[in-house]
Every structure is written in C-alpha cells, then in structure tokens.
Amino acid sequence: MNEQLFASRIRQALDESADRLPYRVTQRLERARLAAVARAAAATSIVSSVSGGAATVSMPSDDRPSGLVRLLSTLGPILLIIAGFYGIAAWDDAQRAADTADIDAEIVLSDDDDVPLSALTDRGFGVYIKNSRQ
C-alpha cells in the first residue's frame, strides 16, 4: 500500500470520528488549539525582535547562520588545509636541505681523497654515501 493512499485513509477515518465527538470535547479541543496558536505566535514574536534601549534589532526567525558565519565555516577548513600543505612543503624543504648538508659534510670529512670529481656530480652518489654510513 503506498503512503498517499494510507494517509488518505487515515485522514478519512479521523474526519469521520471527529464528526462523532461530543460538543464539549470539540469545544475543549478548539480552545486548546487557539491557545497553542497564540503561544506559538508569542514565541515567534519574542524570537523575531529583541529590544535594546530605544533601538529594536530584528533577527531572522529561522535558525540559519549569518553570512559571516557561513563564510568562515566554508573558508576555515580550506585555509587549514592550505596551511597544512604549506607546513608539509616547508618541512620537506628543510629535510632535503639537511640531507644535502649531511652528504656535503660526509664528502668533506671523508678519509678517501681518491674520489673522482665525476662521482661528486653523480646523483646516485648521495645514495651511496647514505648507504655507506649505515
């Protein structure tokens, strides 16, 4: 059974049973409904305007955040990710500089003076120096 058919059958049954209610019950239900509507209207008017001295500030009655809050909630995570990437790049640059300095120090302090100049310009020489230290 689909939902619309089910809802219409329930509505029909409630309408039929509402016609059979006693007059006193109907009157009490109507008074309760009017009181609830009045309370809801009063609560909405309290939320929608806040008085401060002579000035009245109107606030939206819905619970959506303001434009600034939405902007910050959107840009905040993006800025954190960018800062994280910047930090990772800076750390990687510092690590590469430290590795290069270690290789240069190893070359300068090495006991083997018979290393040819072509080996110093070879890219795999740094890997050789790192592996020879271990």
pLDDT in the model for residue 94: 95
> Each residue of 103-112: pLDDT tens digit?
777 777 776 6
Backbone torsions φ then ψ of 49, nearest 5 degrees: -140, 135
> Each residue of 44-72: pLDDT tens digit?
666 555 444 444 545 555 667 778 888 88
Which whole-number Å values give the CA distances from 124 to 39, 108, 130, in the listed order?
A: 81, 17, 10
Of 29-33, 108-112, 113-117, 121-125, the range with the lowest mean pLDDT is: 113-117
DSSP structural state of residue 20: T
> Each residue of 83-101: pLDDT tens digit?
999 999 999 999 999 988 8
**Tokens describing residue 103:** 């290789």
pLDDT in the model for residue 54: 45
> Each residue of 8-58: pLDDT tens digit?
888 888 888 877 888 888 888 889 888 888 888 777 666 555 444 444 545
10 Å Cβ neighbour count for 126?
17
Torsion-angle region of residue 66: left (phi > 0), alpha (psi -120 to 50) or beta?
A: beta
**8 Å CB contact between 126 and 103:** yes
**Tokens describing residue 105:** 């120090």
